[in-house]
Structure 1
């Protein structure tokens, strides 16, 4: 199963920030939307990811002054991305190996979605439950 299947049930809108968005404004957006990260997009290009971890590092390094800095100075860049046709389990492995929790999804160089490790773990659990159910049905029918 591919990442595009996971994205299929969504409306397609991805909350994002521009490179000159202030850290304070980005934090407000994270809190308002109850999300953990924002892709940072310059034009049509994903140039980084600004996450809760970046907030912690910025405040630890700069204190309250971090709130007035642009996210481009404090985001994680370059972003690790995944193709829409990538296998979901392969993407989950990538996230585990790289110790990241969010992936911009690209198709033909443009961002078409944003997935979290929670999205992929949920996909994996759902798949395991379907397989277990199918096995139970098979055993009961024999």
Structure 2
């Protein structure tokens, strides 16, 4: 299964922010949209970083009440692993597992084209296995 198939199902909408946005504003956006990460875009629309709820929790433990004074750029992961729509979902899942992160921006023709989470990948893989099981049962039943 390819990443493009996940994007066909879930859509290509990605919550984006500026590196200069205040952390508390972004936390409110994460809560309101019920999402786990946002992609930070620079002024030219390129990925500057990614900020996840995990980043916020770690920063809260480190900075306490001073968290409110921070910007996205202070906390975001700047070295972002990306994928393309043609990447295999199993490969992307392995990268997420090895890198211990849960969200991967999808890049197509140099532009942000979507975001795949580990939940999206697991769901797609379960559906793929279910279809395979049904095909095998049908084959066996004749």
Q: Which moved more, 1:122-131 or 1:43-52?
A: 43-52
Structure 1 gaps, min length 5? none
1:66 — aligned with what? Answer: 67
C-alpha distance in 2 between matches for 1:16 and 1:3 = 20
- Answer 1 or 2: higher relative contact order, Cα 8 Å, separation at least 6: 2
1:21-100 matches, cutoff 5 A: 21-42=21-42, 43-100=44-101
Post-superposition offset of 1:23: 0.5
SS of the residue 2:16 aligns to: coil
Structure 2 gaps, min length 5? none
C-alpha distance in 2 between matches for 1:81 and 1:11 = 17
Post-superposition offset of 1:13: 2.1
Post-superposition offset of 1:10: 3.8
Normalised to the residue count of structure 2, the TM-score between the two structures is 0.94
Q: Which moved more, 1:102-111 or 1:2-11?
A: 2-11
Give aligned pairs, total: 141
1:15 — aligned with what? Answer: 15
Judge conservation of contact 2:12–2:115 (CA < 8 Å) in 1: no
C-alpha distance in 1 between matches for 2:29 and 2:12 = 18
C-alpha distance in 2 between matches for 1:34 and 1:64 = 23
1:134 — aligned with what? Answer: 135
SS of the residue 2:78 aligns to: coil
Rate the CA distance shift 1:124–1:106 in 2: closer, same or farther, 3 A: same
Normalised to the residue count of structure 1, the TM-score between the two structures is 0.94
Post-superposition offset of 1:11: 4.0
Moved over 4 A (4+): none
C-alpha distance in 1 between matches for 2:45 and 2:3 = 20
